[in-house]
């Protein structure tokens, strides 16, 4: 198929629009949960079911080599910039992949591997893999194009394997196992976050743990790490996760607060526009290619208020974010023709 232009967003614009996303993993004898704050100046978005058996080709610049695949697993994702471009999600095998901003990200230079954009990279992993190790090993076969937003990722599977994946100086850096001392990720590199963390009480230092995330460097990472370390398995793990996300957030910019329960395959979520916590279960959805796609506004009051997906609704969500006055710089970074090309691209995804 014809290759389409990607979203080109300048790193300098994200430097001025600083984020304070945070994500972590907690577990006890009964539950394995993944908490995630999505912080941004625009909060419109939706949950969507992603089906198996869908034929897809990566959305990349004209001069890049694309990759084509057929989705193997169904998933539910949180999307702001359109179907196929999620900010995070979970698939039916219990693999969770989410992103947070890291402005010093340097993706690989072009090589023999096909390319994919930074958000579609998330969908690719959810479509194709069930374990953290499979995601890591696939780096040999696929790279993120340089024309991408600077992100790093945290992933977890149903076995409890967790990893942080970063791209520094053009190479994938993976923190996993003994290299992942605390299963937490924010907006600095994992190594830099650990350096800051070691200055605080309980982690080898003398400073008091900060009371909010807006003051010290890596404040949200430090607070979340402290909460993860102090977790008592007797406490309700879902409630504790929401408390951790609340105390480590920047309240006026935390658009989505999400807790994935990998054992029960439930998703608990709320938004800045609707603070009511909702719950949905992956077990209630049909991911077969012949099924009807379902979507749900992230700020809904009723978690059963799913509607049938159609391209016009998706286009409205994309344009709502694109035209949001809270992020006026987006139009300087993303030409309208590029935004329109992405809308056209989404319509090309079909059952094989």
Which residue has tokens 């054992």? 263
Domain count for the chain, please give it.
Answer: 1
Q: What pLDDT score was predicted for residue 19?
A: 54
- Token readout for 57 is 């080709």
Calpha distance 337→348 (Å, rounded):
17
Supply the range of the domain harboring residue 287: 11-188+228-351
Flag whether 5 is in a domain: no
Residue pair 219/227 in contact (Cβ under 8 Å)? The answer is no
Q: What pLDDT score was predicted for residue 148?
A: 87
**Counting beta carbons within 10 angstroms of the beta carbon of residue 291, is it exposed (0 to 12), middle (13 to 18) or buried (19 or more)?**
middle
Q: What pLDDT score was predicted for residue 10?
A: 42
The 10 Å Cβ neighbour count of residue 245 is 23
Calpha distance 30→80 (Å, rounded):
32
List pLDDT tens digits, range 148-197. 889 999 999 999 999 999 999 999 999 999 999 999 999 999 999 999 99
Flag whether 39 is in a domain: yes
Q: What pLDDT score was predicted for residue 274?
A: 97
Calpha distance 171→65 (Å, rounded):
19
Flag whether 205 is in a domain: no
Q: What pLDDT score was predicted for residue 15?
A: 42
Task: Write down the pTM of the prediction.
Answer: 0.95
Flag whether 245 is in a domain: yes
Q: What pLDDT score was predicted for residue 338?
A: 84
Residue pair 153/99 in contact (Cβ under 8 Å)? The answer is yes
Q: What pLDDT score was predicted for residue 17?
A: 45
Flag whether 64 is in a domain: yes
| pLDDT per residue of the chain (352 residues) written in tens, 0 to 9 | 334 444 444 444 444 445 579 999 999 988 999 999 999 999 999 999 999 999 999 999 888 999 999 999 999 999 999 999 999 999 999 999 999 999 999 999 999 999 999 999 999 999 999 999 999 999 999 999 988 889 999 999 999 999 999 999 999 999 999 999 999 999 999 999 999 999 999 999 999 999 888 878 999 999 999 999 999 988 999 999 999 999 999 888 999 999 999 999 999 999 999 999 999 999 999 999 999 999 999 999 999 999 999 999 999 999 999 999 999 988 887 789 889 999 999 999 999 8
Calpha distance 98→119 (Å, rounded):
9
Looking up residue 305, the CATH number of its domain turns out to be: 3.60.60.10
Flag whether 149 is in a domain: yes
- Token readout for 157 is 């599977």
What sign does the dihedral 327-329-330-331 (CA atoms) show? positive
Whole-number Cα distances in Å, 70 to 125, 323, 344, 351, 352: 12, 32, 19, 9, 7
3-state secondary structure the chain: CCCCCCCCCCHHHHHHCCCCCEEEEEECCCCEEEEEEEECCCCCCEEEEECCCEEEECCCCCCCCCCEEECCCCEEEEECCCCCCEEEEEECCCCEEEEEECCCCCCCCCCCCCEECHHHHHHHHHHHCCCHHHHHHHHHCCEECCCCCCEEEEEECCCCCEEEEEEECCEEEEEEHHHCCCCEECCCCHHHHHHHHCCECCCCCCECCCCCCCCCCCHHHHHHHHHHHHCCCCCCHHHHHHHHHHHCCCHHHEEEEEEEECCCCEEEEEECCCCCCEEEEHHHCCCCCCCCCEEEECCCCCCCCCEECCHHHHHHHHHHHHCCCCCCCHHHHCCHHHHHHHHHHHCCCEEC
CA nearest to 346, candidates 297, 322, 311, 296: 311
Flag whether 220 is in a domain: no
């Amino acid at each position: 198929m014809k290759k389409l232009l990607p979203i080109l967003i300048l790193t300098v614009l994200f430097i001025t629009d600083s984020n304070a996303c945070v994500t972590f993993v907690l577990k006890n004898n009964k539950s394995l949960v993944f908490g995630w704050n999505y912080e941004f100046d625009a909060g419109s978005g939706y949950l969507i079911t992603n089906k198996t058996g869908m034929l897809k080709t990566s959305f990349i610049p004209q001069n890049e080599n694309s990759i084509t695949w057929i989705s193997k697993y169904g998933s539910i994702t949180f999307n702001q910039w359109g179907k196929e471009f999620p900010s995070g999600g979970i698939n039916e095998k219990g693999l969770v992949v989410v992103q947070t901003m890291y402005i010093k990200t340097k993706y690989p230079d072009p090589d023999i591997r096909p390319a994919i954009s930074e958000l579609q990279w998330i969908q690719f992993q959810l479509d194709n893999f069930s374990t953290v190790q499979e995601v890591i090993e696939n780096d040999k076969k696929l790279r993120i194009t340089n024309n991408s937003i600077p992100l790093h990722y945290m992933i977890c599977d149903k076995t409890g394997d967790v990893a942080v994946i970063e791209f520094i100086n053009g190479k994938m850096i993976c923190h996993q196992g003994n290299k992942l001392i605390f299963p937490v990720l924010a907006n600095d590199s994992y190594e830099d976050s650990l350096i800051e963390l070691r200055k605080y009480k309980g982690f080898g230092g003398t400073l008091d743990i900060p009371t909010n995330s807006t003051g010290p460097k890596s404040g949200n990472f430090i607070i979340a790490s402290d909460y993860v370390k102090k977790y008592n398995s007797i406490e309700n793990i879902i409630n504790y996760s929401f408390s951790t996300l609340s105390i480590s957030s920047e309240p006026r910019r935390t658009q989505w607060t999400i807790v994935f329960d990998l054992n029960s395959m439930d998703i608990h979520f709320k938004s800045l526009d609707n603070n009511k916590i909702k719950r949905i279960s992956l077990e209630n959805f049909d991911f077969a290619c012949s099924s009807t796609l379902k979507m749900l506004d992230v700020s809904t009051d009723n978690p059963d208020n799913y509607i049938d997906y159609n391209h016009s609704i998706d286009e409205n969500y994309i344009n709502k974010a694109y035209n949001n006055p809270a992020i006026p710089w987006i139009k300087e970074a993303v030409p309208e023709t590029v935004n329109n090309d992405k809308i056209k691209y989404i319509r090309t995804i079909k059952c094989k």
